[in-house]
Amino acid sequence: MRLAVAISGRGSNLTALIAALPAGSPAEVGLVLSNRATAGGLDLARAHGIPTLVLADPSDASAWLDALAAHRIDLLVLAGYLKLVPPRVVDRYRGRILNVHPALLPAFGGPGMYGHRVHEAVLAAGATVTGATVHLVDEVYDRGPVLAQARVPVQPGDTPERLAQRVLEIEHRLLPAVVLAAAAAGRPVPLPEPVELPS
């Protein structure tokens, strides 16, 4: 299964995916896309010999579709990608686009809920548990069907930064698990609860 990974920043989830997919794995990263030319994850991809594309206009569906077709992409993975995927791309790849979100959706999701904003909201709400979600993508931020979630306790005295670090560690295990399950099944599938994460 050939993956395209869309990023907007340093690409820590991309790092985790690459590490989880050594040579001979049932899935491989065939393209990394970004809306930002300065995204650190692009350098990471290049260092691993993975083709990259900076989207001059992230809303240009044709640019997405041309690149995905040219690289024979089966599954699109949003890993810290902060823009909406164009509706025509969602329609063409419906059921084949994953997103990882740093909270237990549907809580703490939607427009503007990304990065530290999510963890600040979790703490402000007094939640005792948070976590990470991998879900299918549709035309609305964070709305598509959930495939897997992993929980992280909120600890007394947590700061957004400390909470973010623990949630990110779970993301780095949850996303590869969902991708490998998709590769084994030939399509994205829900993981059984409770999710068994690789250490």
Helix (H, G, I), strand (E, B) or coil at 66: helix
Q: Identify whether 101 is a catalytic site residue.
A: yes
Distance CA 49, CA 8 (A): 19
**Options 48, 71, 101, 172, the catalytic residue:** 101
- Decide if 87 contacts 68 (C-beta within 8 A): no
Which tokens is 61 given? 């569906």
Distance CA 132, CA 43 (A): 26
Distance CA 170, CA 158 (A): 17
Q: Kindly report the CA angle at 113 between 153 and 147, in degrees rounded to 5?
A: 65
Helix (H, G, I), strand (E, B) or coil at 44: helix
Q: Comparing C-alpha atoms, which of 163, 150, 96, 67 is closest to residue 124?
A: 163
Give the catalytic positions in this structure: 101
